[in-house]
Amino acid sequence: ITVVTWNVGTAMPPNDVTSLLHLNTSETNDVDMIAIGLQEVNSKINKRLKDALFTDQWSELFMDVLSPFHFILVSTVRMQGVILLVFAKYYHLPFLQDIQTDCTRTGLGGYWGNKGGVSVRLSIFGHMVCFLNCHLPAHLEKAEQRKEDFATILHMQQFEGPVANGILDHDLVFWFGDLNFRIESLDICFVKYAIDSNVLSQLWEKDQLNIAKSTWPVLRGFQEGPLNFPPTFKFDVGTNKYDSSAKKRKPAWTDRILWKIKPPSKGWGAGGHPPSQGVLSVSQLCYCSHMEYTISDHKPVAAIFTVQFASKVDKPQVEIYVADEWSRPEQAVVRYKMAVGFHRSSWDWIGLYRVGFRHPKDYVSYVWARSDDGERCLEKQLCAQVMFSEEALPKGNGEYILGYYSNTSGSIAGVTEPFQISLPRSEEGSSSTDSSGSSSEEDDSTLVLLAPKSRSPSPGKMKRHRSRSPSLAKFQGLILRPSSRDRGTSRSPSPQSRRSLPRSIPTIHLPQEELGHHGVKGKELGQAAKSPEGSSFYQTVQEQGGLWRVSDDSPLARADPRNLGLLPALRLEMIEQALGQRRESTDQGYYPCQKTSPTSPPGCGTSPKEGRNP
């Protein structure tokens, strides 16, 4: 397991993070999971608006870099500028279950999220593990405040389920972040002398966190490797020189990575046997800073751990059987077998992924796992069977993976090994693709918002430009208002991002006079874009009561901004139309709520059991 922490100081992402993640090294092949904790990600209002509509640039960067190495985003959680990302190799996904997230604000007395902690907890092969990324109060004299905030985070964060309800109840906890502990007593001249002379051990005993580990009960049991790297704060941005400003902050190890193993329970275990010793062990292979990154006044810190334990789970919840190659559409048959006790849902689906996919909803196509005899197959342990339609299959040659997505657990419950798909490309399909790529120069903002995009990056091609925001300035007089359903706190933004935008487009109302500027583009889009199932996605625009809208039976009309799964969902309306048309449009049913894709919430609409094409 690799753990990284970095206070990025509101900076833009760098072009390359391979050395930070220890990629292209002998260690990479052995790494199974990566946890990345960021602090002070730019969270100004204009930046948060972009990140609410699209995945933030830092998450995009790490997904782009890690997907060619077969790392998949398992879960992510954000609280203003504090972000936590957890990745794992794709073949481990069925053994990562019970995934939950939480966040705790401690800034401004608990009302502001610039300080606090975010966490991702999950079961790894049956063992409960929690990753906790914190940003604690700054300054030398705030040590006691850091203690109180950490205790608050441990107390406030609670998870559902029969086991490991609190953070310290987990078998293994990784605690990391900008913990802001400083070096006491010693003056800045001696600290810099010790750094320049490479006698860092003279600073260890004055480090506030080292002192606290032996005096604060809340830190009992937490371990940390030796600090054999220079203090990671505070640097002049763009250099490797410590603070030369008028404040001249004393260097300190503010950025830390610790871990704690749950002690064995006291007394005798089940069956009258003593509790087993050494069930889970942790060894730290590397603990270092990365001086090559200069975009922030902090240096990032990385650690690599080997975690050894007896596996409590040896089979996935769903086993998928597929042929080694699909060279004809009729071969696209998927057989799957569900384990005893698996909680099947009518909203489960099987996704087809390119090798190198980024997250569980980064699929090429999907089919509902709704075999008519599904319950009987589960009860009698028989194989159920579904089939991909010819229109849903990708054309050309490539390697793909099938994954069974469980709606109940919100994770992948079974995957296959890579297999080959070799289907001939149709001339009609290529011409359609060409036409969708062509556009006039008008209304670029609409194209950015609506144009379909590739879901899987080409391994080896790293995109430097990651901004996914449409030019909102071209829509004059927009009202940006969170929907009522999403005004509460959403703890885990869905990783579905620009890759699945065509299935979740916000409804946009334009007055009739405005449509004249967009009419040409609407005709082109109506013939170009395609839905994931291969049917025409954009439908005819109709005029009704002076308001131009998309026909009710089209997927665009059924699209709901809440399906973006990000923070917050937005509706875009013209000011002059917002008040007069809202009641009329609601009465006439302009916003039908129907289930259109696996990314839609299953709260309303037609059940897949009724036979509606997803």
pTM for this prediction: 0.71
Same domain for 92 and 163, yes or no, is yes
Same domain for 360 and 237, yes or no, is no
**C-beta separation of 295 from 14 below 8 A:** yes
Same domain for 289 and 362, yes or no, is no
Asked whether residue 596 is assigned to any structural domain, the reply reads no
Q: Which residues pair with 166 in a beta bridge?
A: 158
Q: Which of 35, 51, 224 is nearest to 120 (CA)?
A: 35
Model pLDDT for residues 82-91, shown as the tens digit of each residue: 999 999 999 9
Determine phi and psi for 474, rounding to 5 degrees: -75, -15
Asked whether residue 510 is assigned to any structural domain, the reply reads no
Helix, strand, coil % in the chain, rounded to nearest 5: 25, 30, 45
Same domain for 101 and 194, yes or no, is yes
What does DSSP say about strands 96-107 and 112-124: parallel, antiparallel, or unpaired?
antiparallel
Asked whether residue 33 is assigned to any structural domain, the reply reads yes
Same domain for 211 and 255, yes or no, is yes
Which CATH number characterizes residue 409's domain? 2.60.40.2840
Same domain for 327 and 239, yes or no, is no
Q: Which residue has the higher pLDDT, 386 or 467?
A: 386
Q: Which of 519, 502, 499, 591 is nearest to 551 (CA)?
A: 591
Task: Give the end of a domain, one of 423, 452, 485.
Answer: 423
Model pLDDT for residues 46-74, shown as the tens digit of each residue: 776 776 677 899 999 999 999 999 999 99
Task: Give dist(CA 123, CA 175) in Å, integer.
Answer: 17
Q: Which residues pair with 120 in a beta bridge?
A: 101, 131
Which CATH number characterizes residue 134's domain? 3.60.10.10
Classify residue 265 by burial, with Cβ atoms within 10 Å: 0-12, 13-18, 19+. exposed
Q: Tell me the mean pLDDT in the region 264-281.
A: 58
The CA dihedral of 519, 521, 526, 529, to the nearest 10 degrees, is: -160
**C-beta separation of 233 from 255 below 8 A:** yes
Task: Give dist(CA 254, CA 208) in Å, integer.
Answer: 10
Asked whether residue 607 is assigned to any structural domain, the reply reads no
Residue 330 is given by DSSP the state G
**C-beta separation of 35 from 1 below 8 A:** yes
Same domain for 337 and 366, yes or no, is yes
Same domain for 193 and 342, yes or no, is no
Structural domain span for residue 384: 318-372+380-423
Residue % of the chain over a pLDDT of 90: 57
Task: Give the end of a domain, one of 289, 308, 327.
Answer: 308
Residues 6+ apart with CB under 8 A from 572: 475, 478, 479, 480, 506, 507, 508, 509
Task: Give dist(CA 295, CA 238) in Å, integer.
Answer: 6
Count of other CB atoms within 10 angstroms of residue 465: 7
pLDDT at 199 over 80: yes
Same domain for 257 and 328, yes or no, is no
Which run of H or of E encompasses 191?
helix 188-196
Same domain for 284 and 385, yes or no, is no
pLDDT of residue 487: 39
Task: Give dist(CA 602, CA 614) in Å, integer.
Answer: 12
Residue % of the chain over a pLDDT of 70: 65
Asked whether residue 14 is assigned to any structural domain, the reply reads yes
Asked whether residue 581 is assigned to any structural domain, the reply reads no
Asked whether residue 99 is assigned to any structural domain, the reply reads yes
Same domain for 303 and 322, yes or no, is no
Task: Give dist(CA 550, CA 118) in Å, integer.
Answer: 40
Same domain for 326 and 254, yes or no, is no
Asked whether residue 434 is assigned to any structural domain, the reply reads no
Q: Into how many domains does the chain fold?
A: 2
pLDDT of residue 378: 73
Most confident of 343-357, 495-509, 563-577: 343-357
Task: Give dist(CA 430, CA 396) in Å, integer.
Answer: 11
